Amino acid sequence: MAKEIGANQYIICGNGTLIYDLQKEKIIYDSFMDKEKVLEIIKVCEENSIYYNIYTQDNVLTKTLSYNVLFYDKENSKKPIEKRTNINIIEDIPKYIKENPNINILKMTICDSDKIIFSSIVRKLKMIPKIDILDIEHMSKKNIKFGSEDIPIEYFYTEITKQNTNKWTAIEYLINILGIKKEEVMAIGDNINDKEMVENAGLGVAMGGSILETNRIGNDFVKDNNLDGVAEAINKHVNNK
């Protein structure tokens, strides 16, 4: 995506877990999850038969193609090999993590189609210290194509990162390197994991139809992504400055 839009400086990835310098081709900041914490979260999930997957620096680790990973897998079939999401199906994920101590874990995703079960697991996970769990109450809805038919998949989900890791903390690190003020930053977002950066940036822009717009988070509001809302924000606040 960075290459497609001509980006040539920095990328913030994994909900603020790392910053990558495109010119030097190296990571300049990271906040990877502690592997012992990851194993603790996995234990809770497996004891309660809740679906989880893990985002490493290179792959998505999963036991089965379900929920969000099923969507990625179907999207992969439409893309050339070099643009596909790397999905690694592993039967015993805890064993894999223990045997590969050098893997870097950005975040975890927890999914379930039943709200009561999902909420119960989230409450248990919140008892684990030194992790951050996104407070997401809405259901994710995606469509996947089987032949000529669109099949909806709906599920509740949350994302887990290391404590005090989010897009805004990464932006703060980056603006110190760039020597600019937060008042000079525009942040555009459409989901709860964008909340901190939209609230703290000098100009926070919420996408239309998003949870941020619904809760009136941000200084300005633009159309949704299907109607070029990001381009609208850039043209309005940058190109016409």
What is the per-residue DSSP string for the chain? -TTTTT--SEEEEGGGTEEEETTTTEEEEE-PPPHHHHHHHHHHHHHTT-EEEEEESS-EEESS--HHHHHHHHHHTTS-GGGS--EEE-S-HHHHHHH-TT--EEEEEEEES-HHHHHHHHHHHTTSTTEEE----SEEEEEEEETTEEEEEEEEEEEEEETT-SHHHHHHHHHHHHT--GGG-EEEE-SGGGHHHHHHSSEEEEETTSHHHHTT-SSEEE--GGGTHHHHHHIIIIIT-
Tens digit of each residue's pLDDT (9 = 90 or more) over 105-117: 999 999 999 999 9
- Bridge partners, residue 149, by sequence: 146
Tens digit of each residue's pLDDT (9 = 90 or more) over 167-224: 999 999 999 999 999 999 999 999 889 999 999 999 999 999 888 888 899 999 999 9
Q: Would you state the pLDDT for residue 20?
A: 95
pLDDT (average), residues 102-106: 95
pLDDT (average), residues 26-32: 96
pLDDT (average), residues 83-103: 94
Domain 181-241 = CATH 1.20.200.10: no
pLDDT (average), residues 62-88: 90
Least confident stretch, 57-61, 76-80, 103-107, 124-128: 76-80
Domain limits, the chain: 35-162, 181-241
Q: What angle do the packed helices 115-125 and 35-47 form, to 10 degrees?
A: 140
Query: Is residue 147's pLDDT more than 70?
Result: no
> Would the pTM count as exceeding 0.85?
yes
CATH among 3.30.1240.10, 3.30.365.10, 3.40.50.720, 3.30.70.141 for 35-162: 3.30.1240.10
Rounded Cα distance, 15 and 10, in Å: 14
Query: Is residue 146's pLDDT more than 70?
Result: no
